[in-house]
């Protein structure tokens, strides 16, 4: 399959190489059954990367969204930004957190808003839904379901407690599972279900009468149809050892899910007061094979938070990208100075930018939530230059070889930074005149710079054949390699 672009969010596209053991006359001996007698050998690294490391890049902030109503996620749909949120008794901020856990509601509505620029939003549409026996709404999310019938294309997800006696068979089955598949927060006295409402257009909604699973996903949920797996996938909150973790579950059909399994939890080199509070799942815009999380970590000792960057090739095994926090609270006195929360779904954001919404407040997380405290919470955008979410960095001299790649074009274009004393050179292995030595040095700050070899830009390899790139860096940051 031709590749249009490589992002450096993990090591998947870089060969790990090997060391060859050679005799004095250059003959290679392998591990198994070398000829006797033993002779002196020397090591020769082959395609072993060295001198490079991955560094997550800090976000920039684009300002506060006016008239925020309480939503926590924004998506692109048909050329516009769209979002949905739940309104309880006419209030948009009673559908999450401590304010959600009141008496059974008088009215529940799903509201939809849209915007052309991400800052100025339409008046909301409202669709009342019937949810008898439910209360304590939390953990709301939504997605466009490409696998569903047309009348259920839009799905709104939320967690709610339900009355005693409701869904008794499901509750009995849940509580009879082995402990590893149960959440300690669910009992006969505390009954939590994951519910959904569906819509053909995102305007008119109908609540499904039964929960699609039992799970206490307060605050944080993300659901999608995974085309590669032909399954629904959910990323959700778990609670283990008194701490919040990130969990994952799958389903062949939307109403029947396997148990939630943990995938991310506080690391042993983190302080012991940290929680993984929000998952911030996203696929990179236009490159869905790059799966990312921007999880928010809650620091209990300071009541503050930060956002980090995680990467995965399959959505199951996740690694934190080095570099520390990519988003932190603002300076004293700013609207987000005490606590922030990560949104979901990286989006194109104007020309040559990507962005994700985030929430912020000038109050610590568990500060008593008077009405003024609720009203102070708002939302903004965190953004990066296009493709510059993570850098492959060479502090001094570095080198790597890509895996074999079928280029989608005849030119190679780099997104990089290199000072005047640094440089990047690219070679196409096995092609005459296209070695890294022949490459014209790449210097400066470019988002789409064409690679040339003595002034020629064609890669020189046969059309449709895989190529291996050898990339040499000196004091440089490389963000992406594209083929056009």
Mean of per-residue pLDDT scores for the chain: 94
Give the burial class of 480: count Cβ atoms within 10 A of its Cβ; 0-12 exposed, 13-18 middle, 19 or more buried. Answer: buried
pLDDT of amino acid 63:
86
Per-residue tokens: 376? 């102070």
Per-residue tokens: 267? 């690391």
Nearest to 86, CA basis, from 149, 142, 169: 142
Nearest to 195, CA basis, from 207, 183, 203: 207
Mean pLDDT of 414-440: 98
Q: What is the largest CA-CA distance in the chain?
A: 88
Task: Work out whether the CA dihedral 371, 373, 374, 375 comes out positive or negative.
Answer: positive
Q: How confident is the model at residue 374 (pLDDT cuts 50, 70, 90)?
A: confident
Distances (CA, A) of 478 to 121, 223, 247, 301, 456: 36, 32, 32, 37, 21
pLDDT of amino acid 394:
98
Q: How far apart are CA 92 and CA 69, in angstroms?
A: 6
Q: DSSP per residue over 292-357, as a string?
A: EE-PEEEETTTTEEEE--EEESSSSS-EEPSSS-SB---STTSTTSSEEEE-S--EE-STTEEEEE
Decide if pLDDT at 92 tops 80.
no
pLDDT of amino acid 192:
96
Mean pLDDT of 155-165: 95
Decide if pLDDT at 98 tops 60.
no
Q: How far apart are CA 147 and CA 222, in angstroms?
A: 16
Q: How far apart are CA 125 and CA 110, in angstroms?
A: 8
All residues at 6 or more sequence positions from 133 whose CB lies less than 8 Å from its CB, including other chains = 104, 162, 163, 166
pLDDT of amino acid 78:
83
- Per the listing, tokens 């997550």 go with 56
Beta carbons of 281 and 235 less than 8 angstroms apart = yes
CA 317 to chain centre: 13
CA distance from start to end of the chain = 15
Beta carbons of 186 and 214 less than 8 angstroms apart = yes
Domains and CATH numbers, the chain: 5-56+390-483 (2.60.120), 60-385 (2.115.10.20)
pLDDT of amino acid 100:
59
One-letter-per-residue 3-state SS of 378-409: EEEEEEEECCCCEEEEEEEEEEEEECCECECC
Decide if pLDDT at 311 tops 80.
yes
pLDDT in tens, 162-218: 999 999 999 999 999 999 999 999 999 999 999 999 999 999 999 999 999 999 998
Mean pLDDT of 414-437: 98
């Amino acid at each position: 399959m031709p590749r249009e672009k490589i992002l450096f969010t993990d090591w998947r596209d870089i060969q790990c190489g090997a060391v060859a053991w050679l005799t004095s006359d250059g003959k290679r001996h392998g591990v198994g059954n070398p000829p006797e007698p033993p002779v002196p050998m020397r090591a020769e690294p082959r395609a072993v990367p060295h001198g490079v490391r991955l560094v997550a890049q800090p976000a920039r902030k684009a300002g506060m969204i006016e008239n925020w109503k309480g939503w926590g996620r924004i998506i692109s749909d048909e050329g516009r930004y769209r979002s949905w949120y739940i309104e309880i008794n006419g209030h948009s901020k009673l559908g999450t957190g401590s304010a959600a856990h009141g008496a059974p509601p008088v009215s529940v509505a799903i509201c939809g808003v849209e915007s052309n620029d991400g800052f100025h939003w339409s008046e909301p549409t409202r669709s009342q839904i019937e949810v008898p026996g439910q209360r304590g709404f939390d953990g709301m999310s939504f997605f466009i379901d490409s696998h569903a019938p047309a009348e259920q294309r839009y799905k709104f997800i939320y967690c709610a407690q339900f009355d005693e006696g409701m869904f008794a068979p499901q509750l009995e089955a849940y509580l009879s599972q082995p402990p590893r598949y149960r959440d300690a927060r669910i009992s006969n006295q505390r009954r939590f279900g994951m519910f959904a409402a569906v819509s053909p257009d995102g305007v008119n909604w109908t609540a499904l009468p039964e929960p699609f699973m039992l799970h206490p996903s307060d605050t944080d949920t993300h659901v999608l149809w995974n085309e590669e797996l032909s399954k629904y996938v959910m990323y959700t909150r778990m609670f283990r050892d008194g701490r919040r973790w990130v969990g994952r579950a799958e389903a062949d059909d939307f109403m029947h899910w396997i148990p939630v399994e943990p995938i991310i939890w506080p690391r042993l080199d983190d302080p012991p007061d940290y929680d993984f509070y929000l998952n911030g799942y996203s696929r990179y815009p236009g490159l869905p094979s790059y799966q990312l999380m921007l999880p928010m970590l809650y620091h209990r000792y300071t009541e503050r938070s930060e956002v980090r960057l995680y990467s995965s090739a399959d959505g199951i095994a996740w690694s934190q990208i080095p570099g520390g926090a990519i988003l932190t609270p603002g300076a004293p006195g700013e609207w987000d100075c005490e606590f922030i929360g990560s949104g979901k779904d990286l989006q194109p954001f104007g020309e040559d930018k990507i962005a994700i919404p985030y929430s912020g407040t000038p109050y610590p997380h568990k500060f008593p939530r008077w009405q003024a405290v609720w009203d102070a919470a708002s939302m903004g955008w965190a953004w990066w230059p296009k493709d510059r979410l993570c850098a492959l960095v060479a502090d001094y001299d570095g080198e790597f070889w890509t895996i074999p790649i079928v280029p989608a074009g005849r030119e190679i274009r780099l997104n990089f930074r290199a000072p005047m004393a640094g440089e990047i050179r690219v070679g196409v292995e096995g092609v005459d005149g296209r070695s890294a030595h022949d490459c014209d040095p790449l210097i400066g700050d470019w988002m789409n710079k064409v690679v040339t070899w003595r002034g020629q830009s064609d890669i020189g390899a046969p059309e449709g054949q895989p190529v291996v790139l050898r990339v040499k860096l000196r004091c440089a940051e490389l963000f992406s390699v594209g083929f056009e």
